[in-house]
């Protein structure tokens, strides 16, 4: 899946950086470098979205129609 999200990155007071994604509540990452913080944020976003999808799909009836929706 390809999508774009916003990464808000700030320097952490204890050193390194932390990052959040305003579009995905609870998604955050941290790292010693901006790149590491962004990568950890990307991984958090992927895990959150995968978990939400799997949770919803578990409750769907077998005859439910599933199609892709493209935004952008």
Tens-of-pLDDT digits for all 72 residues of the chain? 678 999 999 999 999 999 999 999 999 999 999 999 999 999 999 999 999 999 999 989 999 999 988 887
Are 44 and 31 in contact by the 8 Å Cβ rule? The answer is: no
Q: Is residue 71 part of a domain?
A: no
Q: Give residue 39's pLDDT.
A: 98
DSSP for 45-58? Answer: HHHHHHHHHHHHHH
Q: Is residue 1 part of a domain?
A: no
Domain count, the chain: 1
- Separation between Cα atoms, residue 71 and residue 69, nearest integer Å: 7
- The residues pairing with 18 across neighbouring beta strands, listed in sequence order, are 10, 30
Q: Is residue 16 part of a domain?
A: yes
Q: How far is CA 31 from the centre of its chain?
A: 16
Q: Is residue 64 part of a domain?
A: no
Structural domain including 43 reads 8-58
Kindly report the pTM of this predicted structure: 0.85
- Separation between Cα atoms, residue 49 and residue 36, nearest integer Å: 20
């Amino acid at each position: 899946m390809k999508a774009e999200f916003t990464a808000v990155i700030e320097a952490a007071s204890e050193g390194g950086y932390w990052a959040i994604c305003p579009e995905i509540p609870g998604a955050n990452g941290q790292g010693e470098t901006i790149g590491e913080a962004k990568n950890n944020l990307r991984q958090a976003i992927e895990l959150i979205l995968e978990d939400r999808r799997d949770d919803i799909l578990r409750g769907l009836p077998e005859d439910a129609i599933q199609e892709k929706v493209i935004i952008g």
